[in-house]
Amino acid sequence: MTKPILYDQTSETLQTVLRELGQPAFRVKQLEEGLYQHRYLSFLEFSTLPKSLLENLGENFTLFPLELSKTITSRDKQTQKFLFELHDGSYIESVLMHYEGRHTVCISTQVGCPMGCVFCATGGMGFIRNLTAGEILAQIIFAMRQLEREGMNLTNVVYMGMGEPFLNYDHVMSSIARLTDQKGLNFGARRLTISTVGILPRIHQFTEAKSQVNLALSLHAPNNALRSQLIPSNEFYPLHALIDAAKKYTDYTHRRVLIEYALIDGVNDSLELADELATLLHGMLCLVNLIALNPGSNDTLKGSPREKVEAFRDRLMKRGMQTTIRLKRGIEINAGCGQLATTQKSR
């Protein structure tokens, strides 16, 4: 039987565990300091805790739930992709990216993905299972330790890796609670971004939570007919309902939404569609983030050439839309958006 993961435990459950072991209350603080401030990966590193307690914890809990299977580094050294094996033999990937003044980790929330977006390699894997909060946090802790060894600090976390975060809402939000808690990793909420293709009930729930975490909506088309061809879930959560929900989010939180739009050559990159997108988003507090589609699982779909991307951006800006073109990272190692997928199978 698989042992529970220590990083899945809240402060309250840790208090209960230590109390049942006859430990004084201050041990909880020492344990949490080791987990979150020092980010220990082995029970042997907890020098302030008695040996008998560490042995008991080791017998009953898994400390770090990820085993690094492979690291791939891009030619320019600005991107590293990590393949992790989980306790059940499943695999996930996360990506560490370096920009000028920023170090961002892109983390996974599911093993595979059930959404089936036609341009995404992860969707081609199908869905295996949700990650726990501890498995999500462990990816961040690994990235933090990786950077610290090189004298750098993690500046941003994006929930944009394998999986649809809002289909694993409770575990995602639990990971964020400990990520931002002062007794946890004490990471600023405004440096976090969750990306969703549009799970309508969870967008409403996220809005009501009044989180300071950034929201990104993967749109990729300005009308239902085209979007349904690219993103099957659009049949359940149609475009105008998502836009209404996004506008309610901005009205309620006064935070802008990041609109993600992958440009596919000859599919969604015409100037007419740019005009349609500007009309759709009119009046919304948002930033449109464009990127040419990365090579993925669908060989028939190609990313738009640079001149089309720039023309699309220019048309949106002419229509008054705040628009940027995303800087690509790690494409040749399949570490870009829509490229994460593992060929390893569960045991």
Placement of tokens 């394998």 in the chain: 162
Residue of 33, 45, 93, 100 marked active site:
93
Residues 6+ away with beta carbon under 8 Å from 154: 103, 104, 105, 140, 143, 144, 147, 187
Q: DSSP 3-state assignment of 265?
A: coil
- Which of 67, 161, 70, 69 minimizes the C-alpha distance to 111? 161
Residue 128: enclosing H or E segment and its boundaries?
Answer: strand 127-130
Residue 318: enclosing H or E segment and its boundaries?
Answer: helix 306-318
Residue of 106, 117, 120, 337 marked active site:
337
Question: How many whole angstroms separate alpha carbon 174 and alpha carbon 176?
Answer: 5
- Which of 304, 315, 218 minimizes the C-alpha distance to 266? 304
- Which of 152, 246, 140, 145 minimizes the C-alpha distance to 202? 246
Residue 150 designated active-site: no
Question: How many whole angstroms separate alpha carbon 136 and alpha carbon 170?
Answer: 12
Residue 337 designated active-site: yes
CA torsion angle 240 241 245 248 (round to 10): 70
Strand-pair category, 323-325 with 286-292: parallel
Question: How many whole angstroms separate alpha carbon 340 and alpha carbon 112?
Answer: 9
User: In angstroms, how far is CA 115 from the centroid of its own chain?
Assistant: 15
Give the active site residues: 93, 337
